Structure 1
Amino acid sequence: MPEHNTTTVPLSPAPLMQLATGFWSFKTFAASIELGLYDLLAQHQGCTVEEVAKALDLRHRPADLLLAACASLDLLDKQADRYLNSPLADQYLVTTRPGYFGGFVRFCDQREYPAWHRVTEALRTDRPVTWDPATQDSVFSAEDPVMLELFWEAMHSISVSTARTLGEVYDFGTHLRLLDVGGGSGAFPVELAKRYKHLSASVYDLPHACRVAEKKIEAAGLQNVVNTLEGDFLRDDTLPLGYDAILLSLILHDWDEPTGRALLRKCRAALPSDGVLLICELLLNDERTGPPSAALMGMNMLVESSGGKNYSGAEYTAWLSEAGFAHTEIVPLDAAGANAVIVARPA
């Protein structure tokens, strides 16, 4: 009989150490954003520790530690004695870049991180800890003005890159008019209209969200291509008509299953027979065991919402079938805000 190697590799607590200290990486990252490190390095095309310390009003030791930590996180490169932004940081962490991601980091630092200190409370009560459902209709209906601005900048940060990726993997060439339901800052219509010159689009959202979108649309010079429509997709009986493509991006995970199913039925009623519904989300696998990006976003929905959670592709497929969609395809995405787009066509 052949001998089998029964030796087992001993378990190590190293993965647990990584989990336990994950906040070290985030808070280092957030501090570097708050201090303006990446703008400084971009402006001077790299700096020494001494130059960073002087410019950011830090002593030598904390400046040295911050730079070493950011380099270890692949946010900085080092040439001789000078630190420079890595290609990733140069593209996404300099405030003047069109894909600036710092808004999302600031929002997580100032809003999400403190709230997550109460995650056990959210687990025990099944209630959000960032707002009070007894006094607000939803997390989106009323906010501190400063936090509201942070929220929209955060959503815009992740939506811009996600919209660009969507435009690469799905061909909007046959569509003429796009309705972005709950479109927020208008990142998706703006980016898609830039790529597909024939496409016109509307952002359909609450009035205060439309004001944000109008500023972004004007800044992009697309007022004649992209507009806003004020409405409430939860309370309105119907969605606007006349669109051959409807987009739900980063929307369905905010709500419970009955709300999501009802919204899909409204989408079906608003679409022509040759139309398409696109759902961009962080999808769980069908076993609901991952990936972490989707599963942990679900935990964030526990902290932030009264019924939201992340769903699997199988769950969405079942909802779509019930709502009157027969042809469903799940297309993978590699984006900040979504790992897939579900393409659904009416039965």
Structure 2
Amino acid sequence: MQLTTGFWAFKTVAAAHELDLFSRLSSTAGTTAGELAETLAIEERPAGMLLTGCAALGLLSKHDGRYVNSPLAEEFLVRGKPSYFGGWVQMLDQRLYPGWAKLTDAIRTNRPTTWHPDRQRSLFDGEDPELLAVFWEAMHSLSTFTARALGEAVDLRGARRLLDVGGGSGAYDIELCRLYPDLTATVYELPKVADIAAGKVSAAGLADRIATVVGDFFADAALPGGHDTTLLSMIMHDWSEVRCRALLQKCWTALPSGGRVIISELLVNDEHTGPAPAALMSLNMLIETEGRNYTPSEYTQWLHDAGFQDVRTVWFEAPGANGAVIGTKP
């Protein structure tokens, strides 16, 4: 029952977020079903059922007949909070949920279901700008938490200049530079995404330490040079083995002797039996991309073939990754 009804809990969270329930309740004395019905211009029956559902999931508490945000909802689901995770909820609901409804089609055809490969060049081509903005906000939330875990698990005290390949909104660079005061970073991204990253970096007050460089890591002949550490975070799972190997070869060429490449991902175990977050993310890659979630052994072999040595895997727990595979250029 837990497996088969998992979407019930998700859609309860997604509906409450779409109705802005948690932001409405923040810093208030709470609500009753009747008051919420009046606020949302709905009937009291569904209002009460939604409040009960959110309370059952640990997102609301009830005191003296009134529902208030739980600490979990207050921290992660209230707009404007530092740890706001609502963009991820919205992206799952609007983009991935419909794609997962066609998972069987993806399995049968080996093609994405969230976009049309015959009509679009990539999953971002021709996409609704508003939904794309939601996507990047979601990725920023996910990456912020994951970057902190990576920075605590992997010692970057010897690194001075980090190149974040396909660095998205710059969340990794912001968090890693906060953790390591001697570190500077470069976000290497497509033009529109680089603009988003520049805005996030500026808002974080780190424009003097984090630069943005516009580029395409497959189309460009080489990666930007002058960096001693290259980060590939939640990048490799988007692509086929052939493309992953080609990208690692570019990392090798761009790094100096002693330089490191760090692949941060949700790693599938070498037995291909789990863990569940990595295995299910791999299926998510089926509906979204040409890639899948790979194993430490696969990355280790590719890194060795590219010329890297002293390859090791560091494990940690985070929303977007459970480990990092690290190789050093001799």
TM-score (norm 2): 0.95
CA distance in 2: counterparts of 1:296 and 1:111, whole angstroms: 16
The count of residues paired between Structure 1 and Structure 2 equals 330
1:338 aligned residue (299, 303, 321)? 321
1:324 aligns with 2:310: no
2:68 aligned residue (84, 87, 92)? 84
Aligned AA (2:296): G
**CA separation of 1:59/1:19 partners in 2, compared to 1, >3 Å: closer, same or farther?**
same
For 1:184, the equivalent position in structure 2 comes to 168
CA distance in 2: counterparts of 1:327 and 1:142, whole angstroms: 42
In the alignment, is the contact (CA less than 8 A) between 2:76 and 2:86 conserved in 1?
A: yes
**CA offsets per residue over residues 153-183 of structure 1, 9 Å max, x none?**
1111201111121122222222111110000
For 2:205, the equivalent position in structure 1 comes to 221
Query: Following TM superposition, by how much is the alpha carbon of 1:232 offset from its aligned partner in structure 2, in angstroms?
Result: 0.6
2:223 aligned residue (239, 244, 254)? 239
CA distance in 2: counterparts of 1:203 and 1:93, whole angstroms: 28
For 1:6, the equivalent position in structure 2 comes to none
The residue matched to 1:127 in structure 2 has which SS? coil
The residue matched to 2:272 in structure 1 has which SS? coil
For 2:28, the equivalent position in structure 1 comes to 44
Let me know the Cα RMSD of the aligned residues.
1.5
CA distance in 2: counterparts of 1:87 and 1:343, whole angstroms: 36
Matches within 5 A, 1:29-108: 29-108=13-92
1:129 aligns with 2:129: no
For 1:251, the equivalent position in structure 2 comes to 235
**CA offsets per residue over residues 66-114 of structure 1, 9 Å max, x none?**
1211122122223332322222222111111112110011011111111
The residue matched to 2:18 in structure 1 has which SS? helix
**CA separation of 1:246/1:139 partners in 2, compared to 1, >3 Å: closer, same or farther?**
same
Query: Following TM superposition, by how much is the alpha carbon of 1:310 offset from its aligned partner in structure 2, in angstroms?
Result: 0.8
CA distance in 1: counterparts of 2:208 and 2:228, whole angstroms: 19
CA distance in 2: counterparts of 1:23 and 1:44, whole angstroms: 30
Query: Following TM superposition, by how much is the alpha carbon of 1:143 offset from its aligned partner in structure 2, in angstroms?
Result: 2.2
The residue matched to 1:317 in structure 2 has which SS? helix
Matches within 5 A, 1:119-158: 119-158=103-142
Query: Following TM superposition, by how much is the alpha carbon of 1:45 offset from its aligned partner in structure 2, in angstroms?
Result: 4.7
For 1:265, the equivalent position in structure 2 comes to 249
CA distance in 2: counterparts of 1:243 and 1:159, whole angstroms: 21
Query: Following TM superposition, by how much is the alpha carbon of 1:54 offset from its aligned partner in structure 2, in angstroms?
Result: 3.0
Query: Following TM superposition, by how much is the alpha carbon of 1:187 offset from its aligned partner in structure 2, in angstroms?
Result: 0.7
Q: After the TM superposition, which of the residue ranges 47-56 and 222-231 deviates more from structure 2?
A: 47-56
The residue matched to 1:279 in structure 2 has which SS? strand
2:184 aligned residue (193, 200, 224)? 200
CA distance in 2: counterparts of 1:234 and 1:341, whole angstroms: 22
In the alignment, is the contact (CA less than 8 A) between 2:98 and 2:114 conserved in 1?
A: no
**CA offsets per residue over residues 276-304 of structure 1, 9 Å max, x none?**
11111011111111111111111111111
CA distance in 2: counterparts of 1:143 and 1:191, whole angstroms: 29
Aligned AA (1:122): A
CA distance in 1: counterparts of 2:310 and 2:30, whole angstroms: 52
Query: Following TM superposition, by how much is the alpha carbon of 1:255 offset from its aligned partner in structure 2, in angstroms?
Result: 0.4
CA distance in 1: counterparts of 2:312 and 2:55, whole angstroms: 40
CA distance in 2: counterparts of 1:117 and 1:76, whole angstroms: 29
For 2:283, the equivalent position in structure 1 comes to 299
Aligned AA (1:345): T
Give ranges in structure 2 of 5+ residues lacking alignment: none
**CA offsets per residue over residues 34-78 of structure 1, 9 Å max, x none?**
111111221205333333333333332212211211122122223
Give ranges in structure 1 of 5+ residues lacking alignment: 1-16
TM-score (norm 1): 0.91
CA distance in 2: counterparts of 1:151 and 1:94, whole angstroms: 18
Q: After the TM superposition, which of the residue ranges 294-303 and 77-86 deviates more from structure 2?
A: 77-86
**CA separation of 1:204/1:32 partners in 2, compared to 1, >3 Å: closer, same or farther?**
same
The residue matched to 1:20 in structure 2 has which SS? coil
Aligned AA (2:312): E
CA distance in 1: counterparts of 2:29 and 2:321, whole angstroms: 33
Query: Following TM superposition, by how much is the alpha carbon of 1:257 offset from its aligned partner in structure 2, in angstroms?
Result: 0.5
**CA offsets per residue over residues 187-236 of structure 1, 9 Å max, x none?**
11112122222211111011111111111112112211111101111121
